[in-house]
Amino acid sequence: MVNLKEWLFKTLFKDKFERMEVLVSHKSDLTEQLIVCQHKLHEKQELSEREIELLKLEEELNSKYPKKLIIYKGRFIPNHGRCSVDVRNFFSNPDSQELKFAEVWKDLPDDEKAFKCLKWVIDNITYISDKEEFDMDEYWCFPYELLNTRKGDCDDGAILLSNLMASCGIPYWKVRLTCGDTPDGGHAYVTYFRESDKTWVNLDWCYFPSKKLIKDRTNYKEEKHYGDVWFSWNRKYSFSKGVK
């Protein structure tokens, strides 16, 4: 009898019954969509807070030392001699084809990206003086040049390293090319901002190379192998308390 009543109800009110089923189905779908949207909104709010934190950190780091235009005679034009270059020009387009191999590390945390880039330069670039290679006292190579020759001096490897770090997605403000004193004379290397404890650490591929993990590195100010910094720069700004 109950089944007969149910059959009569569905037969007499078939259209209404079907509409009711559609509405119930739509309600379920809408509920699921609402839950998904709420999750996405929550994720977006968290991301926004993270973005705000990074913007503040970027501004803080870029404002800590005096900004100064640094022009350096690091290039030579045949038949014309040395030319003056804004040091920021040594940061290439991070999407350059030559640098794309570093993209395999783009999904790693920044500290691991920095370590992978440094290890690659140490393992794949051979140190040679500018005098021996170019018969010049000073010559700075662009990244694509060093990737072709696979040999260069401190500044060449440092320039390549900083560009590889940019290519795999490390924010520009966490990477600086640095020139300064060592007990053995002038030197160029990379300094990297370790965000976990807000500390700058040295990444050096040739003078005092080290494959220590980023987390195990000492604050650059405590490194006995390095002296005063003459000047440093990232992709947007150059800094100096007084150029040598």
> Token match 């079907």: residue?
18
Q: What does R_g of the chain's alpha carbons equal in angstroms?
A: 29
CA distances from 72 to 49, 55, 82, 90 (A): 39, 30, 10, 11
* CATH no. of 67-239: 3.10.620.30
Q: Quick: pLDDT tens for 40-83.
A: 666 556 668 888 888 999 999 999 999 999 999 989 998 999 99
Residues 122-161 pLDDT 10s: 999 999 999 999 999 999 999 999 999 999 999 999 999 9
* Domain assignments of the chain as residue spans, ordered by start: 2-55, 67-239
